[in-house]
Homo-oligomer: A and B are copies of this chain.
């Protein structure tokens, strides 16, 4: 029985844009595991697998049902130990949690600010109603107000990427000579932006863009074949 991956989509089922789902997509490709993609819109999420989750990715592998891309990556590492490692040992597992919290606290708020209205625009009608209500309650302004001031966040995001940029001067990937799950964590954030944000953000030259392009090309260009927003 093949693996099922429920992943977030827009009005177009081929528009897969969730950062967390991309972390899992890349993890599965890294492990060389086939999977069936089940595109799921925001308002469908609570209905899948008998209401098993509030958020995707949701992975079913036989009797195992898991959400949270980090938990999924750890499960894949344990369950498929002969496939290429996602962590490179126990130290890698632990340190990945630092990269996750860095990406989540330093990159995600900026990308969310840059792309939230663009995300709204690609959703199906019923998802737009949910998304506007949920997000506007959180940001305490309208999507349009958030959108109006977004240009200032372009420089902030490139500045927030500085630790990655500096590290890439010394090694090809966060994982060293080859990517590990920690790379997919940050890739997920930038792919989320690439798939939604209608203005260019990432500086086109330089270490981060080169690293991102390498990851877009991997696994037969799986990341690149997904259409970008702009």
Contact = CB atoms under 8 A, between A and B. Distances in A.
Interface of A: 85, 87-102, 104-106, 162-164, 166-167, 170-171, 173-176, 180, 182
A182 B167 CA distance: 14
Contact of A163 (B87, B101, B162, B164): B101
A99 B89 contact: no
A182 B105 CA distance: 19
A94 B170 contact: no
Contacts of A93: 88, 91, 176
B163 A95 contact: no
A98 B180 contact: no
Nearest to A85: B91
Nearest to A163: B102
A170 B101 CA distance: 10
Contact of A98 (B87, B91, B104, B182): B182
Given A87-B89, A88-B91, A106-B163, 13 more contacts: A88-B95, A92-B92, A92-B95, A94-B171, A95-B95, A95-B99, A95-B174, A95-B180, A98-B163, A98-B164, A101-B163, A102-B102, A105-B166
A167 B96 CA distance: 10
Contact of A96 (B95, B100, B163): B95
